[in-house]
Amino acid sequence: MDTSTIFKAYDIRGLVGSELTPAIAKRIGNALAQWLPLQGPVTVGRDMRPDSAELADALIEGIREQGRDVCDIGQVTSDMIYFAVGHYQLAGGAMITASHNPGAYNGIKLCREEAKPIGSESGLHAIQALLETPVTGETPGALTQKDCVTDWISHVLSFIDTSALKPLHIAVDAGNGMAGKIFPALQQHVPFTVEQLYFELDGTFPNHVANPMLPEALVDIQQVISQKGCDAGLAFDGDGDRAVLLDEKGQPLSGTVLSALLAEHFLQNNPGQTVLLNAICGLAAYEMVEAMGGNAVRTRVGHSYIKADMREQNAIFAAEHSGHYYFKDNFMADSGLIAAVIGLAVLCESGQSLSELARPLREKYQALTETNFTVSDKQAVIEKLAEAFAGEQQDMLDGLTVRFADRSWFNVRPSNTEPLLRLNAEAPSKQRLNELTTLVTNILQG
């Protein structure tokens, strides 16, 4: 059984039918049940893709045949799996989803007790190794169904003062993903008028790719914000664990800007606490943490690293430039809905428009959209860059980061799965950003 192509750095993902099949999902369920350190039930959820139910059933069968009980929570967002494992004190969890990937793909996200991540360095390869030796228990584990939506929404709302919410008019694009099922349950508890876009669950994604980090995925919601005069917009990815907040002009808040606003929110009432920001988050977020008296700590890109670092540092909040936001009181796990709700609460309490709130943070620095370069020898190119900028401040926390005296910086880090180097850069002005980008690009392409 060749599964080398589907076991990634942070999850399992592949083409349905050729790379990821019910038979393989069953083996993965059995291996997960063997590997989990704690005894006890495992929870399983799934997204709305056409083949997710079949894959979930196979995964559940594999877990049960090892003798473990399974709690099936049905169609949910990925962040609800983390919540269920932590809230109900289960041994682990599995979510059938390929997030924002096209409909031909599917995948499995795994976690252990307390919603701790299972990635390439924290158990995923060990589970892969167990696929060849399935274990059958004397008595199959029991299967129960549970609806955890009510508990989840109560948990989400516990992060804000609901009495301070104002009657906002917002647009929400669920992208035909799982947020279309869960967001209506939130609407019952908030004074928002909601313009719904693509709330119909459809894993073929007939309207646009369910990745709100891509400009083309925001065109429709931007039109609705303009036409309806909305105060803000929310766009979710396919499995609902990422959300992009848009202002009343239809402009998305970058991961750095929203990270800064969320960090400010947490540190207002918790001064001196630690906030984690990944290695390519913009300086405006770091500067906000410092201005609020917090302790800003850089961490590697990737949820398994961030969640581990959060526990080690006892961080109250963590953020990635890619739109993943992590919360201490959410079992150190990420959630698009929690981030969105806090962002809207901050807007309500500010007395400003969202563009006014974001303006000082947006104007501080100019950032390059992450750009990929195909190279034959990733490490050799990184070493060449390090030598070219040997006189500047450098670190190798995640790829190569080079910082300059004028507060500009760039990071080049290797892809885990492809012959690519990913370039991020930031500078105090557009001219300086262009100069820096040209210098680095010439070396990358040389």
pLDDT band at 418 (very low <50, low <70, confident <90, very high): confident
Residues 257 and 321: their CA atoms lie apart, in Å, by: 9
Helix (H) or strand (E) holding 94: strand 92-96
The answer for 152, left when phi > 0, alpha when psi is -120 to 50, beta otherwise, is: alpha
Give the pLDDT confidence of 25-34 residue by residue, as tens digits: 999 999 999 9
Write out the two tokens for 406.
């004028």
Give the catalytic positions in this structure.
99
Give the pLDDT confidence of 279-330 residue by residue, as tens digits: 999 999 999 999 999 999 999 988 888 999 999 999 999 999 888 999 999 9
Give the pLDDT confidence of 123-135 residue by residue, as tens digits: 999 999 999 999 9
For range 333-360, the mean pLDDT: 98
Nearest to residue 445, comparing CAs of 391, 369, 384, 370? 384
What is the reported pLDDT for 276?
98
The phi and psi torsions of 145 (rounded to 5 degrees) equal -105, 145
Give the pLDDT confidence of 195-250 residue by residue, as tens digits: 999 999 999 999 999 999 999 999 999 999 999 999 999 999 999 999 999 999 99
Q: In sequence order, what are the residues at sequence separation of 6 or more whose Cβ sits closer than 8 angstroms to the Cβ of residue 186?
A: 153, 156, 157, 337, 341
pLDDT band at 415 (very low <50, low <70, confident <90, very high): confident
